[in-house]
Amino acid sequence: MNGELTHNEIITQPDAWADALAAFAMREDVARAAWADLAPRQVVFIGCGSTHYLSITAASLWRGLVGAAEARPASELLFFFDEAVTDPSNTLLIAISRSGTTTETLAAVDRFRQRGGRAVWTVTCYPDSPLAMAADLVLPAVAGQEKSVAQTRSFASMLILCQALAACLGGDDWRALDRLPDLGRQLIADSEPVVAPIAGRLADERLYFLGSGSQYGMASEAMLKMTEMSLTPSQAFHFLEFRHGPMSMIEAGTQVIGLVSPQAEAHEWRVLVEMRAKGAAVFALSQGEGDADWHIALPGGLPWWTLPVLYLPPLQLMAYHRSRAKGLDPDNPRNLSSVVFLDRKSFG
């Protein structure tokens, strides 16, 4: 009970990012050719838990770089298929799973195939997993494999692959991501001394993560990491939506953590300033500076679509240190396991 696994997986993740980028480089031409051959009318990303939030970010990036896309929990393809997939024969399903063995994701792929789905691509840390075997194209993040329960290094490595794929197929230079491993190492070194003492002072209620665009999925994942590792109830909201009801919960002791985007920076900072004026303590991650109690500076000079993964390490470290401050074991969160196994036959 010391969290060594989780901490090591967080601080070594830039090495796994580099490995994922090398893996993508080997599959770039195959991905381009497969995309040109498919020319799908619909792209749907699916996942469960963390990988559902990853899917939300991946779909947002896809819309910004390639074209129409949406994200669904894998279970929605089982129970609400016609709402999730409107034209199966012209749909590309991109299934994301750390283990490649999550029952709902495998069953969703089965259902997609049964309904005449066009193609399945997968992003996973295990290229020999059942999910990978069921896919037409596999993007592997092998170095992202983990021993701890909560996804940290794996999530970021699979996200890097999704970022590279969207940029590649959208006509951007995905090699802009090659700068991220070195930048990530420096970010981890700079941010841990900041977030560690903050984590020990967080209250156990009214902790809000805010993000817009592709950062909303990152805010949701940060919320999940804080909840899983430290048993701290947390919620995630879109930045400007926070004004429409949730800010009624703001009072002294409330913490608001903002993942400020370059696209909507001025508007998002205004929300944080307003919440601070109402008594909240504000923590911000952004390229530019603003009025916050604590701030993590993200590297400048990068395309907007490269940024999502950089928000992760400081927030993962915050969840880790919050867990340790409460005397918990971040390697083994209560009631959780690395993979949720169910009776696959029960889904038909």
DSSP per-residue codes, 84-107? H-S-GGGEEEEEEESSS--HHHHH
Give the mean pLDDT of 252-257: 91
What distance in Å separates the CA atoms of residue 38 and residue 5, rounded to the nearest whole number? 41
pTM of the model: 0.94
CB of 45 within 8 A of CB of 158? no
Q: pLDDT confidence of 341, banded at 50, 70, 90? A: very low
DSSP-derived pairing of the beta strands 207-211 and 281-286 = unpaired
Residue 306 vs residues 29, 56, 80, 88: alpha-carbon distances, Å? 21, 15, 33, 30
Q: What is the pLDDT of residue 290?
A: 83
Q: What is the pLDDT of residue 347?
A: 65
Instruction: Give the best-scoring range by mean pLDDT among 3-7, 65-69, 329-333.
Output: 65-69
More confident: 188 or 231: 188
Give the mean pLDDT of 251-265: 93
pLDDT of 337 higher than 70: no
pLDDT of 343 higher than 80: no
Q: What is the average pLDDT value for the chain, to the nearest integer?
A: 93
More confident: 203 or 112: 112
Percent of residues, the chain, with pLDDT higher than 90: 83
pLDDT of 161 higher than 50: yes
Model pLDDT for residues 139-159, shown as the tens digit of each residue? 999 999 998 878 999 999 999
Provide the H-helix boundaries in the chain.
Answer: 4-11, 13-38, 50-65, 74-79, 81-84, 103-114, 130-133, 153-170, 180-201, 214-230, 265-277, 312-325
Q: Lowest mean pLDDT: which of 3-17, 28-42, 73-87, 201-215?
A: 201-215
Q: What is the pLDDT of residue 218?
A: 98
CA 62 from centre of chain: 14
Q: What is the pLDDT of residue 332?
A: 79
Q: What is the pLDDT of residue 334?
A: 64
Q: What is the pLDDT of residue 260?
A: 97
Q: What is the pLDDT of residue 56?
A: 98
